[in-house]
Structure 1
Amino acid sequence: MGKGNRYTEDFKNTIIELYESGMSLAELNSEYGIAKSTIKSWVNSNKKIKIDENEEISAKEVLALKKEIAKIKEENEILKKAMAIFAKK
């Protein structure tokens, strides 16, 4: 996969697994042609954050949840305004 290509989640996960199993950034860069900074960002976004004894969440999942919360807040504001409009009628 060359420059400008969009990588699949499966491919990213494979690279992350290879890195976590001991391959260096330089080896992965040499073998797959992916920038070291790109690999590092994939690894960092996949790091797990311990929530409690039985649950972990990745940084990527936290960002997705933040986006979802923002969307829900926006939808709630729209619904509040619509309710106000209909209450006046």
Structure 2
Amino acid sequence: MGHTGAMALAQDIRELPVVPRLVAVGATLLGVVGGCVGLVLGLLAYPPTAWFAVLEIGVPSAILGALLGLAAGAAVTVARRSHP
């Protein structure tokens, strides 16, 4: 059975070092959630410009997710180095 694109992507993410992995996961998860929230709010506010609300809320959410992932990755790295 061959790997699908999603399975290959998951394997690539698993092979990343801990900090970049958590940055990528945090940015992706919060970016998707922020984009969905932006879409709903945009459709409720003014449907013709809903796509802009997706970016307006999704991009800052992705940045926040990346920063949280960076902090979590740094904490994991420090914890691993302090406990041999």
TM bin (shorter chain): 0.3 to 0.5
Higher relative contact order (CA 8 A, sep 6+): 2
Structure label with greater radius of gyration: 1
Structure 1 or 2: more helix by fraction = 2
* TM-score (norm: length of structure 2): 0.36
* TM-score (norm: length of structure 1): 0.34
Structure 1 or 2: more strand by fraction = 1
